Each structure stands twice: as structure tokens, then as C-alpha cells.
Amino acid sequence: MAKDYYATLGVRRDASQEEIKKAYRRLARELHPDVNPDPATQERFKEITAAYEVLSDPQKRQMHDMGGDPFGGAGGGGAGFGAGFPFSDIMDAFFGTASASRGPRSRARRGRNATIRVELDLAESGFGTTRELVVDTAILCEVCQGSGAAAGTHPDTCDMCHGRGEVSQVTRSFLGQVMTSRPCPQCGGFGSVIRHPCQECSGDGRVRTRRTIKVRIPAGVEDGTHIQLAGEGEVGPGGGPPGDLFLEIVERPHPTFERRGDDLHCTVSIPMTAAALGTSLTMETLDGPEQIDVRPGTQSGQVIPLYARGVQRLNESGRGDLLIHVNVETPMKLDPEQEELLRKLSQLRGEERPPGKFAPGQQGFFSRLKDAFNGR
């Protein structure tokens, strides 16, 4: 009694090729020997494979519908995998894609990205600048225009793969005859062979040269900032599109200012008398000389802010601040006249004996303890 291959796959007799294929994929994922090694399951897998081989072939399907034997007496269940069985459908069942021919590879590939370091002064990074950069890179060969072939010639179709870029090999396994493909060893998978390479680029489609580009550095960049210049990198092999050029900003140290984000910090030292009486200082900033007023009684460590005198904020409006840290210097050596004047000042202010447990003439706990042991 003839097998009902429609029932084997669980589809209607009027099922479309897509419905038959989907049913086979679903069953193959469940019954494949690599998934389920049970002997009964392996036999069932052979049955659904034979059913799919018949129903996916219009001629064999018509013969089956008419009651004939599509395998010529070989028997559906024992047919296994015939010579014409599409192995790609098994691969498709497991990976969701067929192992069909990939076709030749393109010689044109995207070029590599390049990175160069750009050193800037604080004013240049803070306010922006324009630089002319010399770049050693690969550009399109003007002789062959990227084809890699000498003038008046063109790449020839590979006579080994006939332009497909790959060669196929049929091997036998427990699944039957299996066809595998690999890149053509003669053309490298391109499908064509350059028999007469361009003498200018040696068939690469590009040449190395040194060129100068003008770039604008935006205001507010800082040490470590990367700027991407799209399409300014190397041209790819075979005249492929160029990669990108990245500028890595290196900010030189400033002798006066320390940058912290968008703010600038610096330290000024003033004498004790200037801190007590107040004074004015002229300081050189990134915007030029600035007059700074130091209020009377300024203490060491106080900060005098100059708003909007820092660096420009990157991609934003406004600037940071300049923060001036005050350091009050106390004289270490005094001549007799200076010492006398300071003593008079301390008397006038009542500070000749400052209050506190360590003031002159007062003994601390350890001093009194020492005196007790010494019999004082």
C-alpha cells in the first residue's frame, strides 16, 4: 500500500510549497538524529525527509498524487536521502536560513579609520581654533579608479568558479549526499581575476600619499576629547568608501591656570599686610589683564571668583569661571624695626598675649605634670 506523504508531514493535499516547507522544518527540528538519537525517531526522520523530497518536487508530487511510486520502487520509507535531496532545507530548519550560494565578494571594502593626536594650548582648546593637519593616508588610485586593473583592461571572470566566487563539493554522509561550498581558491571569492594589475597601485585600487586638510577645532574641547571627521580616513581596497579620521585632543599644561572642566583655577600669594589692609592686583587672564580687588581682612584659602572668565562650554552657550585662591604669606624673618612695629601693633590690638591654652606664660597639662615630677 502506497504511503500518504501528505499525512506524514501533516499537511492538506492542496497545501502550497511554502506550507510543505514550514511543516518539514518544524518536524526536522524535533526529529533530527542530532537532537533525538532514539532509533524510532531516526526512522521517523527518514520518513518525513522522504515525504518532503517527494512533495517539494512538482514531478514527484504529481506521480504520488496519481498513485505511482516517485522513487521507482525504492520505497518511500527506505529511500533515505536521494541524490537530488536539497541539504539546504535541513540547514534552514535549524538555522532559519538556507545554505544557498553566497555569490562573489566585492573587491570594494570600507577603508580603515585613522587617529591622530593634536596638541593645543589652553586658549586654543578653550576658545576653538583652526588647524592644518598633514595626514599620511590611502587615496583612490587615479589611474585605474579603484578597479585594480591596468589601463585598457578589466578583471576577467574566474574560469574555476565561473564568476560565482565559490566552489562546491559533494560528499557522502549518513544524511546521504551533502553539498558544501567554500570560497574559490583561484579568485579568493571575488568571482574575477585581475590578470593585468595596475602598475600604479599594484592592483589594490588605492595609493598612499600625504595630504593636508584644514579642520576646525570647536571651543570647549579638553584633554582626551575625540573629534570624528567622517569620510576623512583611508580609502578602502578596490576603491571602497573611506573610513573616518579621529582627532585626539592633547591639552598642554598652562603655567598659571589649572583646568577643571569648564572652570580655571589659580593661586596668588599676597603679603600679610596686603591681606589685612586690602589691595588691588593686576592679573593676566585668557581675556587679557584683569583688575582684582582684595578686600581688607582676606584670609588665606579664600577664593575670589571672576565669573565667565573660564573656558567656553563645549556645544553650549556660556563659559566657566576663573577661581583665584588666595595664599596669605606670613614673614619668616623680621629686622628689629619691623619687629618693634609689630609689637606695637599687637599692644594696640591687645594681642601681645593671645588667648588660649598654648598662649605664652600659660602651661598645658603635660607641662604642669612635668613640673610636678621635677619638684617645682
User: Residue 118: beta bridge partners?
Assistant: 249
Q: What are phi and psi of 129, to 5 degrees?
A: -160, 175
> CA 151 to CA 58: how far, in whole Å?
51
Angle among Cα 74, 89, 42 to the nearest 5 degrees reads 55
| Strand, coil or helix: 113 | coil
366 Cβ partners below 8 Å, 6+ apart?
none
Helices H, strands E: what count in the chain?
A: 9, 15
- Counting beta carbons within 10 angstroms of the beta carbon of residue 284, is it exposed (0 to 12), middle (13 to 18) or buried (19 or more)? exposed
Cβ count within 10 A of residue 188: 15
Angle among Cα 89, 94, 95 to the nearest 5 degrees reads 95
**Residue 51 contacts residue 76 (beta carbons within 8 Å):** yes
Single out the residue of 168, 38, 51 nearest to residue 101, CA to CA. 168
- Counting beta carbons within 10 angstroms of the beta carbon of residue 130, is it exposed (0 to 12), middle (13 to 18) or buried (19 or more)? exposed
Single out the residue of 217, 247, 214, 244 nearest to residue 315, CA to CA. 217
Q: What are phi and psi of 131, to 5 degrees?
A: -125, 145
User: What is the chain's percent helix, strand, coil content, to nearest 5?
Assistant: 25, 30, 50
Cβ count within 10 A of residue 352: 13
Amino acid in position 145: Q
**Residue 306 contacts residue 257 (beta carbons within 8 Å):** no
Amino acid in position 324: I
Q: Is 266 annotated as a binding residue?
A: no
Q: Can you say which residues are annotated as belonging to the binding site for Zn(2+)?
A: 141, 144, 158, 161, 184, 187, 198, 201
Q: Can you say which residues are annotated as belonging to the binding site?
A: 141, 144, 158, 161, 184, 187, 198, 201
